[in-house]
Structure 1
Amino acid sequence: MLRSIFGKKDKRTVEQLFAPLSGNIIELEHVPDPVFSQKLMGEGIAIEPAEGKLVAPIDGHVIQIFHTKHAIGLRSEIGIELLIHIGLETVGLNGNGFDVLVKEGQKIKAGDPLMTFDLKLIKEKAASTISPIIITNSDIVERIERQEVGSVIKGSTHIANIHTK
């Protein structure tokens, strides 16, 4: 009995994923970049943002901030790793128009602000504003249950349940 009270670890195998951006859901297969549409980096989904604010889609930690500020890596409390890539071909902006609000190693909760970005600048200077959200360690994922949504609100719209093996 004491073992069942004190010896249990977090054995959750399902992570709820909330929209990190407000906008419209785009199936990954329809992203106009083969690296994402062919799922070369992993499974996921994309959002065409309606505003320049990114929030945490999960509880976890910031594990990477790209030096060009266009992408951020997160790890959930159960080990799912996400890459959120703002726009397509935005690496060429060299950080212009991006303001990162967190640091690597920082603990985050779903809905916490991560970054702001200049959506108008991205529309003018990059290939697209479509922003992929990729599970980079898809090998630990058993299945993804996507919610049937079109338009999403950052931090509050539940977009998927990710089941780990």
Structure 2
Amino acid sequence: MFGGLFKKKDNKMILGAPVKGKAVPLSEVNDPTFAEEMLGKGMAVIPAEGKIYAPADGEIGMVFDTLHAVSLVSEEGTEILIHVGLDTVKMNGEGFTGHVKAGDKVKKGDLLLEVDLDKVKAAGYDTITPMLVCNTMDYASVEGVTGKEVEAGDDAVIIEK
């Protein structure tokens, strides 16, 4: 019926964690744009390592020139934004390595970006990594799975059609 990530029986889709670390609610992100869910609902990870992976099968929408964020659209049409750190746009890509470009097809678990977390911290920036569903209003519910340590790919956001 919905294919891909939507389970036919319960109309739910699950996004994987984009990075290994501690899963926390968006309310713990020290930035009102994320904490107040202005761009959408989701969750955040305090990363334990600097490898950012695709949370779902889909197509890369945009990779910011500064490599601090990437957007993708899942095969089901879910618009996902992964933002690595806070104010890291000011690093102008230093410490970041991109592995994808706009238009690339990706599978859940594909490496999208790498970031030198020590370099981010040394520059005085928070490494917390929000993952948002930007078209939250298209769904009945979008709930982050938080309060625990996660490996990249673990259940992180449950979306109900």
1:158 is aligned with what amino acid?
D
What secondary structure sits across from 1:36 in the alignment? helix
State which of 154, 158, 163 in structure 1 corresponds to 2:160: 163
- Residue correspondence of structure 1 range 108-147 to structure 2 within 5 A: 108-147=106-145
RMSD (Å), alpha carbons: 1.7
1:83 matched residue in structure 2: 81
Counting matched residue pairs gives 156
Q: Is this contact kept in 2: 1:18–1:58, CA < 8 A? A: yes
TM-score, structure 1 length as denominator? 0.88
Call closer, same or farther: CA 1:26–1:44 in 2, change over 3 Å: same
Q: Is this contact kept in 1: 2:13–2:159, CA < 8 A? A: yes
Query: What 5-or-longer segments of structure 2 have no aligned partner?
Result: none
Aligned equivalents of 1:61, 1:87: Cα separation in 2: 22
Aligned equivalents of 1:152, 1:66: Cα separation in 2: 25
Larger radius of gyration: 1
1:52 matched residue in structure 2: 50
Cα deviation code 1:80-125 (max 9, x no counterpart):
0011000001000001111010111111111011111110011111
2:36 matched residue in structure 1: 38
Q: CA offset at residue 14 of structure 1?
A: 2.9
1:4 matched residue in structure 2: none
Aligned equivalents of 1:160, 1:38: Cα separation in 2: 17
Q: Is this contact kept in 1: 2:43–2:144, CA < 8 A? A: no
Q: CA offset at residue 132 of structure 1?
A: 0.5
Query: What 5-or-longer segments of structure 1 have no aligned partner?
Result: 1-7
Q: CA offset at residue 20 of structure 1?
A: 0.9
- The sequence identity of aligned pairs, in percent, is 38
Q: Is this contact kept in 2: 1:73–1:82, CA < 8 A? A: yes
Aligned equivalents of 2:51, 2:156: Cα separation in 1: 17
2:111 is aligned with what amino acid?
P
Aligned equivalents of 1:143, 1:114: Cα separation in 2: 26
What secondary structure sits across from 2:55 in the alignment? coil
